[in-house]
Amino acid sequence: MERRDFIRLSAAGAAAGLIAPVAARAETGGAITPPGDVFYTRDAPGRWKGKEATHLPNIEVSRTDGEVTVKVLTAHEVKGYEHYIVKHVLLDRDFKFLAEHLFDPGKESVPLSTYALKDYSGTLYALSVCNKHDLWLNSIEV
For residue range 23-75, list pLDDT tens digits in order.
Answer: 444 444 455 554 456 789 999 999 999 999 999 999 999 878 889 999 987 77
Does the CA dihedral 83-69-99-135 come out positive or negative? positive
pLDDT of 19 higher than 70: no
Number of C-alpha atoms within 13 angstroms, CB side, residue 10? 26
d(CA 56, CA 118) in angstroms, rounded, equals 24
Residue 77 CB burial class (10 angstroms; 0-12, 13-18, ≥19): exposed
d(CA 130, CA 142) in angstroms, rounded, equals 25
d(CA 133, CA 51) in angstroms, rounded, equals 8
User: Quick one: DSSP state of residue 79?
Assistant: -
Give the per-residue pLDDT at 24.
45
Q: Per-domain residue ranges for the chain?
A: 3-141
d(CA 109, CA 121) in angstroms, rounded, equals 31
Average per-residue pLDDT for the chain: 81
More confident residue, 132 or 64: 132
| 3-state SS, residue 108 | coil
Read off the pLDDT of each residue in 71-82 and give the average, rounded to a whole number: 83
What dihedral angle (degrees, nearest 10) is formed by the CA atoms of 32, 122, 12, 5?
-140
Give the per-residue pLDDT at 74.
77
Query: What class does CATH assign to 3-141?
Result: mainly beta
